[in-house]
Amino acid sequence: MKWLKIIGYGLLVWIFIFVLVSIFIGFKFTNRYVVNGAVYVLIIAAGFILGRKITVKGWGEAAVVGLLWVLGGLVLDLIITVRFTGYEIFKEWMMWLGYAILFVVAILGTKKETTSIIQN
């Protein structure tokens, strides 16, 4: 696995989410269900698109990708997002649902190497 690529794509997903939420806040659109729904759609789309650019040996490595993306997002939220929202954001179930979606999308979205048992 290419660690820098994996971490970079996880960072990119987080940046996409941060920008989308910032746009909603900038336009004073605060319906949390619509905002979170848009975030979930973005997580799924970006996760699958970027996940397809990562090739792993199997489901275990795909889970490592998902875990790294979630941990990276948590660290960035602790460093950056908390400055704007406070730690209260981690009490929101919708936030944790986003992390869960990201984890599952990373697992399903990564390309798995296939090996053939039939030799030509």
* pTM of this structure: 0.88
Q: Where are the beta strands (DSSP E) in the chain?
A: 55-56, 111-112
**Under a CB-based contact definition with an 8 Å cutoff, are residues 43 and 97 in contact?**
no
The stretches of the chain forming alpha helices (DSSP H) are 3-26, 32-51, 59-76, 82-85, 93-109
Beta-carbon contacts of 111 under 8 Å, excluding residues fewer than 6 positions away, are 51, 52, 54, 55, 56
pLDDT at 119: 60
CB atoms within 10 A of CB 111: 12
- Convert the pLDDT of each residue in 15-50 to its tens digit: 999 999 999 999 999 898 999 999 999 999 999 999
Q: Quick check: 58 and 112 in contact, CB under 8 A?
A: yes
Predicted confidence at residue 67, as pLDDT, reads 96
Residue segments in the chain with a per-residue pLDDT below the cut of 70: 1, 115-120
pLDDT at 114: 73
pLDDT at 1: 63
Q: Which amino acid is at 104?
A: V
pLDDT score at 115: 66
DSSP 113: P
